[in-house]
């Protein structure tokens, strides 16, 4: 996190600050005490003194001495990730090269090449992720190459990000949005992939606290209100299981823990239910103290005892004991019908599995010595790193696409697919038969014409499920086609298909290049890059190759060339005409014929700036919003909880504009609400009467569909601001027979004509 120099805000004098710093450092040493060997105290003291001295004049935004941040990061590394002395030294020094006069050579001279290499990796990541010019996506490959070189770099970076998120309150609102978006977009999935589940859930919750503060507070409040009932229910559920486990002489711990706020919110959105309807607000965890050779047997015995007591849901059984996830996670998960007809998730693990679930990759190193499974575990990570390396070295796609592909391929849940010989391939959820073919070999993927899944013939776009056995059918006549990109999900498959298409395109594009050259020479100008740039921009394409290709396949006939001006050896398209057309499209308002620029103040300058409201989230006054500078379409206004917000804020920080609404009651905005309720006589008239007669809100469109005693209504209305919309939603919820009312999130609402 960037620093500023300022006086203490929290009233400690210099002497008290020194005592505080020393107290925190000693607390770090206590956390490390089991790992400290002879000579370690000396290296830790030298690292602490070097960092304290280098950061002595620096303070964090909160006003506290900067050195408290590296100490806090080091403590997270030790206590929450389980790293050792050398990682602690790196954590203490992680900001010195970037923020102070200390060089990498100083660190190498003092602590050796291994620590210097890790600090170098952390410095590179810091420059990539936190740069205000936001070149994150472009440099993300460097981070991942560092990760595959020494995973401790990413583990320390995750600790750094967790401490920054825990202390984000003192940052400005726009900085909070950017950091929280990056966190939920990249760091939480990365923590999940490294097996750090508790860090992943805390990062998600903290990000949500800043990105969706109202929803976060509401769910936290409801969790607190229902805590007593939940505890009573958990005790009732656990009692018979506890007795059975004790009778069978298991050494165990059993407890219930609430799901994190972010995952509860995801369930509410995904299933379209209220907080009260989310059935698994908590999970029961059973942790066994079993010797490693008996772990699997004991887990299944416990599963048997639980399902003797409660009826299990067969489709909700997850066996990660026989087949651990590629990040090493092992457990049995089952969902059973508990007392009073409530579904309850139960997780069964051993102590070793639990430590790996909490501390991920770091815990693997602890259990590596002498473990029969260690080779398998190490091998899983090695395979994952190898796949990343392969994609990184073959990747030349647009960098933001690359980041999206990377998330899809490496940061999501995986499924297990069997080859005809019984070998296992791990692929991300949503993978197709074609992804599987490319996972076997590029040459196999490129020639795939079909597949047999569990001995049945399926198309190459068939979505695979965990446990499928797949045989790929190939033909030497087959070549990759453009439509393949619409259904492959793995980064490797996408990269290889794009590569093959590019080669094919180049051959076809040669003809287009020749056509353009002839036309330009006919106008008296040459085929130079400046002229090609002008044409690429005019036709809204992204490369010369695309231009040549579109001309070759006759999608572009170049008849507009006669409108271009010739200036010396250059052509120029008539910009004024284009700008007027753009403005006509972009400057409409949803309601009155007024400029909606009156509604918003941008940063420091509140002059009239042309903008449009993003269709993906349709913001209205009162929503928390930000401006995003688009290419060619001016400024787009998005809600901060827009589905696209994390990607935009995380990848294009330099194109974000601080935005807020000004008070204006004259202009109304189109938005939508969805209503679900009991299909009863007069329900439509009750709804329309409330909206039009009582609240005087203008209805743009209304559709109601009834089926089997229930109705679903979609209503498009014009409101002045969020306050008016909230009142509408609350009043609709109060009507008899209405079950749920929610605002449209992503519906593309047409503007009023």
Angstrom distance (rounded) from CA 464 to CA 673? 36
For 630-663, the pLDDT digits (tens) are: 766 677 888 888 888 887 877 777 777 777 776 6
Question: Which residue in the list 98, 114, 582, 742 is annotated as catalytic?
Answer: 98
The whole-number pLDDT of residue 300 equals 95
* Joined tokens for residue 186: 């990249």
**Could you tell me the pLDDT band of residue 738, with boundaries at 50, 70 and 90?**
confident
Chain centroid to Cα 630, Å, comes to: 22
- pLDDT of 165 over the 90 cut: yes
Question: Which residue in the list 17, 40, 99, 110 is annotated as catalytic?
Answer: 99
Q: Which domains does the chain have, with CATH numbers?
A: 14-211 (1.10.3210.10), 220-372 (3.30.460.10), 498-573 (no CATH), 580-661 (no CATH), 669-743 (3.30.70.260)
Using CA atoms in the order 370, 374, 379, 381, what is the torsion angle rounded to 10 degrees? -130
Summary mean pLDDT of the chain: 78
The whole-number pLDDT of residue 123 equals 77
The stretch 589-607 carries a mean pLDDT of 42
* CA 694-697-703 angle, 5° bins: 105
Whether 149 sits among the annotated catalytic residues: the reply is no
- pLDDT of 596 over the 90 cut: no
- pLDDT of 128 over the 80 cut: no
Angstrom distance (rounded) from CA 157 to CA 145? 14
* Joined tokens for residue 364: 């693997």
* Joined tokens for residue 606: 């509140």
Residue written as token pair 């949803």:
590
Question: E strand or H helix at 236, and its extent?
Answer: helix 227-247
3-state secondary structure string across 260-319:
CHHHHHHHHHHHCCCHHHCCCCEEEEEEECCCHHHHHHHHHHHHHHHHHHCEECHHHCEE
- Cβ pair 55, 70 in contact under 8 A: yes
The whole-number pLDDT of residue 606 equals 43
**Could you tell me the pLDDT band of residue 428, with boundaries at 50, 70 and 90?**
confident
Of the candidates 304, 309, 311, 213, the residue with the CA atom closest to the CA atom of residue 265: 213
For 526-562, the pLDDT digits (tens) are: 888 888 888 888 887 777 888 888 888 888 888 778 7
Whether 212 sits among the annotated catalytic residues: the reply is no
Give me the phi and psi of 386, to 5 degrees please. -65, -40
For 363-394, the pLDDT digits (tens) are: 655 554 334 444 444 455 566 566 666 655 55
CA atoms within 13 Å, Cβ hemisphere of 546:
11
The model's pTM? 0.64
Of the candidates 416, 433, 434, the residue with the CA atom closest to the CA atom of residue 425: 416
């Amino acid at each position: 996190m960037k620093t500023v120099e300022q006086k203490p805000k929290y009233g400690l004098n210099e002497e008290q600050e020194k005592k505080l710093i020393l107290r925190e450092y000693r607390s770090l040493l206590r956390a490390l005490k089991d790992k400290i060997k002879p000579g370690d105290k000396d290296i830790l003291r030298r690292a602490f003194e070097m960092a304290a001295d280098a950061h002595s004049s620096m303070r964090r935004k909160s006003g506290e001495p900067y050195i408290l941040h590296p100490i806090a990061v080091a403590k997270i590394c030790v206590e929450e990730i389980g790293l050792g002395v050398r990682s602690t030294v790196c954590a203490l020094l992680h900001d010195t090269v970037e923020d102070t006069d200390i060089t990498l050579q100083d660190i190498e001279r003092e602590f050796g090449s291994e620590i210097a290499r890790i600090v170098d990796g952390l410095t590179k990541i810091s420059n990539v992720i936190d740069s205000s010019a936001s070149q994150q996506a472009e440099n993300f490959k460097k981070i991942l190459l560092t990760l595959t070189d020494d995973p401790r770099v990413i583990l320390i970076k995750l600790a750094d990000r967790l401490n920054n998120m825990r202390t984000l309150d003192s940052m400005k609102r726009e900085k909070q949005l950017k950091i929280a978006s990056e966190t939920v977009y990249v760091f939480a999935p990365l923590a999940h992939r490294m097996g750090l589940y508790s860090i992943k859930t805390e990062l998600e919750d903290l990000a949500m606290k800043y990105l969706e503060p109202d929803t976060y507070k509401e769910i936290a409040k409801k969790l607190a209100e229902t805590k007593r009932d939940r505890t009573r229910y958990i005790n009732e559920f656990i009692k018979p299981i506890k007795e059975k486990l004790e009778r069978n002489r298991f050494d165990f711990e059993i407890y219930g823990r609430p799901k994190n706020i972010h995952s509860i919110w995801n369930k509410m959105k995904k299933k379209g239910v209220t907080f009260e309807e989310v059935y698994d607000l908590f999970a029961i965890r059973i942790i066994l103290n079993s010797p490693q050779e008996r772990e699997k047997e004991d887990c299944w015995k416990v599963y048997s005892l639980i399902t003797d007591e409660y009826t299990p849901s067969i489709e909700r059984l997850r066996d990660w004991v026989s087949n651990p996830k590629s990040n090493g996670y092992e457990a049995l998960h089952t969902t059973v019908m508990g007392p009073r007809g409530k579904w309850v998730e139960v997780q069964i693990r051993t102590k070793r599995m639990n430590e790996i679930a909490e501390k991920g990759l770091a815990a693997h190193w602890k259990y590596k010595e002498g473990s029969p499974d260690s080779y398998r575990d190490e091998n899983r990570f090695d395979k994952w790193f190898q796949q990343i390396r392969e994609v990184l070295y073959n990747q030349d796609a647009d960098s933001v696409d690359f980041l999206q592909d990377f998330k899809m391929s490496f940061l999501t849940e995986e499924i297990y697919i069997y080859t005809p010989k019984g070998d296992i391939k791990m692929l991300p959820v949503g993978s197709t038969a074609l992804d599987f073919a490319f996972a076997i070999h590029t040459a196999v993927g490129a020639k795939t014409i079909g597949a047999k899944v569990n001995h049945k013939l399926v198309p190459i776009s068939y979505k695979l499920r965990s446990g499928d056995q797949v045989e790929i059918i190939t033909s030497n006549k087959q070549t990759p086609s453009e439509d393949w990109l619409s259904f492959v999900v793995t980064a490797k498959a996408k990269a290889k298909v794009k590569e093959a298409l590019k080669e094919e395109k180049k051959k076809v594009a040669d003809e287009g290049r020749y056509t353009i050259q002839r036309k330009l020479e006919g106008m008296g100008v040459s085929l130079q890059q400046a002229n090609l740039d002008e044409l690429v921009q005019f036709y809204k394409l992204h490369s010369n190759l695309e231009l040549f290709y579109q001309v070759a396949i006759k999608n572009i006939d170049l008849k507009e060339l006669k409108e271009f001006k010739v200036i010396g050896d250059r052509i120029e398209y008539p910009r004024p005409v284009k700008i007027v057309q753009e403005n006509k499209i972009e400057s409409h308002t949803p309601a009155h014929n007024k400029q909606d620029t009156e509604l918003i103040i941008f940063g420091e300058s509140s002059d009239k700036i042309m903008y449009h409201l993003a269709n993906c989230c349709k913001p209205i006054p009162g929503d928390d919003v930000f401006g995003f500078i688009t290419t060619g379409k001016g400024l787009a206004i998005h809600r901060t909880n827009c589905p696209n917000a994390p990607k935009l804020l995380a990848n294009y920080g330099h194109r974000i504009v601080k935005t807020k609404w000004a008070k204006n009651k004259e202009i109304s905005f189109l938005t939508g609400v969805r209503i679900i309720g009991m299909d009863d006589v007069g329900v439509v008239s009750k709804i329309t009467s409330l909206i039009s007669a009582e609240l005087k809100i203008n209805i743009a469109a209304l559709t109601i569909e009834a089926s089997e005693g229930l109705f679903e209504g979609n209503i498009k209305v014009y409101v002045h601001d969020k306050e008016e919309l909230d009142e509408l939603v609350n009043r609709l919820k109060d009507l008899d027979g209405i079950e749920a009312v929610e605002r449209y999130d992503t519906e593309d609402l047409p503007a009023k004509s």
